[in-house]
Structure 1
Amino acid sequence: MNAKTARHVLFDLDGTLVDTRAAVECSYRKVFAQVLDRDFPPPNLPAEVFAMRPAEVFHEVEPSRAEELYEAYQRSYPTCSDHVRTFDGAAELIGALIADDRKPSLVTNKGLERTLLDLSVAGISPDQFAAIVTAEDTQERKPHPAPILLGLERAGAEAANAIYVGDGPQDILAARACGMECISVTYGFYEANELKGLGPRAIAASIDELAEELGIGAFRGTAA
């Protein structure tokens, strides 16, 4: 598949279109302080805690209270939503794809409520996407192919005419399992050395580079 002509471009959300690191950290700090009476991050967590899903973080910290902590996280996240930022040029890139008669879609492991909240704060309308797939839509999560396969189905797309864009190893693996290529971005939660070995089609260090890989030649974004 030629990424520059693929009619369907399916995007991850966190670390790809929106920068949620500060919002996630805010929510963790509230949960740790209010529920556990301790500081975040605890010393026993991996260095790149922001690449982990919240449920995984809480299972590492307090396995017996993981569900309680995750529910507290879900409640606290909206109170931290003002920390969500769009990566510079991301909203413009979605618009440029549509103007080029191409179809962007969104496939994320995040739940629908937080997805819509993030998009609202970031200034990206959900109506711009041909399809949206969130955590509630499939039992499996990326790197399983099910979310992307559902995204293709909802968008009326074939894998042969689509490409996926994401910032993590799970995105590359899920896309490959669907028979698709993946463009990896390194301005999110993962660095290039964590992605190169998995063989993405390309690696983009900014929205501008991503736009170039997608063949949006007239795009004028701002480096992330």
Structure 2
Amino acid sequence: MTGLVAAQGRPVGTMGRMASTAPLPLTVGFDLDMTLIDSRSGIAATYRALSAGTGVPIDDALVVTRIGPPLETELAHWFPAEEVPAAADRYRALYPSHAIAPSTALAGARESVAAVRALGGRAIVVTAKHEPSAELHLAHLGIEPDTVIGRLWAEAKGEALREHAAQVYVGDHVGDVRGARAAGAVSVAVTTGPCDAQELREAGADVVLADLTGFPAWLRAFEAARAA
């Protein structure tokens, strides 16, 4: 007999080739605001409290039309640059008591996370939001990802997605598409946030869905093709 033979009767070299082509375990990343949750009412309430406490007028109705980028980006529209860090600290302190209870899960959110688990995969949340605030939202709404990574935006999200070997990233903003592309992940975009389907496609989204209700079926097809 020539060559080493594995216990199952396959040559070791063949097993090595098979192992090298096996797909990595499924990992799916999700954005939080306006992807998994509708946080507009909670964010608006927090901005109203911030405005009342600082005396700075803030149009909370306008604020919630552009949810996605980091908090400091929005605060810079209302506060001088030197006051933004203190305003951000104050906003984050106000957030738990004003934003968690009014926010709701978006249609298909729980089912989408469950779909990842049903396929033996890991679901992670990668968000620009302050991580403790994100965790409060998820716990309140009974959405249980494996990992939550906060304070990342656009291409910086790609770093976390690569670290966790995510094959798919789901988001509602062109910044989320940029994060997916930076990680080499499939970009699945939903139109539940501030960006419409055309904007998301032009940014490079691979798949555009109206909302997350269509995601579990898409994911099952994606995983079947990946395993074929």
Q: TM-score range by the shorter chain?
A: 0.7 to 0.9
Among residues 177, 180, 184, which one is paired with 2:182 in the alignment? 177
Q: Is 1:150 equivalent to 2:160 in the alignment?
A: yes
Cross-structure match for 1:188: 193
Cross-structure match for 1:53: 70
Gap regions ≥5 residues in structure 2: 1-23, 223-228
Among residues 26, 33, 42, which one is paired with 1:14 in the alignment? 33
Cα drift, residue 194 of structure 1? 2.2
Matches of 1:91 and 1:101 in 2, distance apart? Answer: 16
CA 1:150–1:32: 2 relative to 1, 3 Å: same
Scaled by the length of structure 1, the TM-score of the pair is 0.78
Q: Is 1:133 equivalent to 2:149 in the alignment?
A: yes
For the Cα contact (< 8 Å) 1:165–1:184, is it kept in 2?
A: yes
Residue identity in the other structure for 2:111:
E
For the Cα contact (< 8 Å) 2:57–2:78, is it kept in 1?
A: no
CA 1:111–1:39: 2 relative to 1, 3 Å: closer
Residue identity in the other structure for 1:210:
F
Where do 1:29-178 residues align within 5 Å?
29-36=48-55, 38=57, 40-41=59-60, 48-63=65-80, 64-80=82-98, 81-125=100-144, 128-129=145-146, 131-135=147-151, 141-144=152-155, 146-153=156-163, 155=164, 157=165, 162-178=167-183
For the Cα contact (< 8 Å) 1:133–1:151, is it kept in 2?
A: no
Give CA-to-partner distance per residue, 1:113-171, whole Å, 9 cap, x none: 1011111111112xx42x33222xxxxx3222x43333442x4x3x6xx1111111111
Matches of 1:143 and 1:57 in 2, distance apart? Answer: 15
Residue identity in the other structure for 1:150:
A
Between 1 and 2, higher relative CO (CA 8 Å, sep ≥ 6) is seen in 1
In angstroms, what is the RMSD of aligned CA positions? 2.5
Report how many residues are paired.
Answer: 197
Gap regions ≥5 residues in structure 1: 136-140, 218-224
Cross-structure match for 1:201: 206
For the Cα contact (< 8 Å) 2:109–2:212, is it kept in 1?
A: yes
Give CA-to-partner distance per residue, 1:36-71, whole Å, 9 cap, x none: 2535349xx789343443211221212132122212
